[in-house]
Homo-oligomer: A and B are copies of this chain.
């Protein structure tokens, strides 16, 4: 773990965060960082990723550490690395040193935690081993957190209300992640000319992230099969006529994420049909970003994307009817089956470990409608909120070849016309948009969203 150089402002930020928390809850909260997950044997681990809730208040990705927050005070619990670990891992900062850097009010060895755990609320971590420890220390069963109750629910709501709106330090980090992510996408574009396989582009992009000492915030999607939404395969050859969809984002060492998608032609030039559909998605993208400001319902932005896409597809002769009616019938979702975006912060789907508690305003639940059910965010926008805007167009065989779907939308889709667009398997354009006091700021705007304007070379 690298100690950030700006740890004085980190300490101030952390104090502000816990003081804000203290105004929302009147009981202690204990948050675990978690521990490493083994890959194929105990000494060969996946890279450590701290729980985001811990990171938010503790600032640094300390392994197997705990913070206890009460009335604006932070107590750090962790054990110093044993002397024997120095040989393998070098000299580690001590508990006292870390406590100083994050401006903890007190620091204790882990064995003290149990005696200070009475009546404390928590949020479960992802690591199953640590979850057992949580249950043990709190003396009650800690389950997955989609349905917390009692003080756990109160804590969850309090943390959500803080994390929904990013403070200055978070924004500094998020902008750093965005800047590196932009460079990664530019490197991917530049590498296209000489690349043979998807994996070559992925390498060019992730290499930029690694070189900046960051990590990937999520498994990269780098594919000529953009119609597979979470494609994690990279072995397909790049062929003239293919569109390449890259959804790749960096995460800073302190855990803050970026999330960016571009789609460009392997040949450097769209076919007319590809350009037509790209323009539809781009229009949706631009219209949605123009709409982002405080007070706007994110659902309305999603519906705007659906509307613009439906309209565009009507103009291209792919859909028949009036855009509003088509959206009402979920016809847009035949080609745009996911939500227009989500919260972004310490997690790429921020706070999704809490199910829909963060994404959905209290009292709202996911729709069962085909065109709305995959929407991850349904809240009014507030200043400091960072969201993605990521409309897309996909020809998903599982949807378009489904007999039920085919039947339902038989007269709505011009299937013959659609066949002419068979060289458009998947297009997505995604940017990270910050809600400001009166308006919005696109953190990823330095990368043009109309990729035709991008030079395909270094």
User: Which residues of A are in contact with B by a Cβ distance under 8 Å?
Assistant: 1-2, 37-47, 49, 51-52, 83, 86-91, 126-129, 144, 197, 199-200, 202-204, 206-213, 218-219, 225, 227-235, 255, 337, 346-349, 351-353, 396-399
CB <8 Å contact, B398 and A87: yes
CB <8 Å contact, A41 and B90: no
Cβ distance A236 to chain B, nearest Cβ, rounded Å: 9
Q: Give bound CA distance, A255 to B44, whole Å.
A: 14
Q: Give bound CA distance, A129 to B131, whole Å.
A: 12
Residues of B within 8 A of A349 (CB): 41, 43-44
Known A126-B38, A199-B212, A211-B203; judge A86-B396 contact (CB<8 A): yes
Cβ distance A23 to chain B, nearest Cβ, rounded Å: 26
CB <8 Å contact, A337 and B213: no
Cβ distance A279 to chain B, nearest Cβ, rounded Å: 24
* Interface majority SS (helix, strand, loop, mixed), chain A: loop
Residues of B within 8 A of A38 (CB): 126-127
Not counting A86-B397, A87-B398, A88-B230, a sample of 14 additional A-B residue pairs whose C-beta atoms are within 8 angstroms of each other reads A2-B233, A38-B127, A40-B255, A40-B346, A40-B353, A43-B349, A44-B218, A44-B348, A44-B352, A88-B229, A89-B230, A128-B128, A128-B129, A206-B206
Residues of B within 8 A of A83 (CB): 398
Q: Give bound CA distance, A367 to B248, whole Å.
A: 48
Q: Which 9 A-B pairs have the closest CB atoms?
A: A203-B211, A90-B228, A86-B398, A207-B207, A38-B126, A37-B37, A41-B353, A203-B210, A128-B128
**Chain B residue nearest to A376 in the complex (CB):** B43
Known A40-B51, A41-B126, A87-B399; judge A202-B197 contact (CB<8 A): no
**Chain B residue nearest to A217 in the complex (CB):** B44
Determine how many copies of this chain the complex contains.
2
Q: Give bound CA distance, A40 to B163, whole Å.
A: 15
Q: Would you give 14 A-B contacts (Cβ < 8 Å), ordered by A?
A: A2-B235, A40-B51, A40-B346, A42-B126, A42-B352, A44-B349, A87-B396, A88-B230, A90-B228, A90-B233, A200-B211, A203-B209, A204-B207, A204-B211
Residues of B within 8 A of A229 (CB): 87-89
Q: Which of B88, B89, B210, B346 contacts A199 (CB 8 A)?
A: B210
Q: Which of B127, B203, B213, B225 contacts A197 (CB 8 A)?
A: B213
Residues of B within 8 A of A41 (CB): 52, 126, 347, 349, 351-353
Residues of B within 8 A of A232 (CB): 47, 89
Cβ distance A150 to chain B, nearest Cβ, rounded Å: 22
Residues of B within 8 A of A211 (CB): 197, 199-200, 202-204
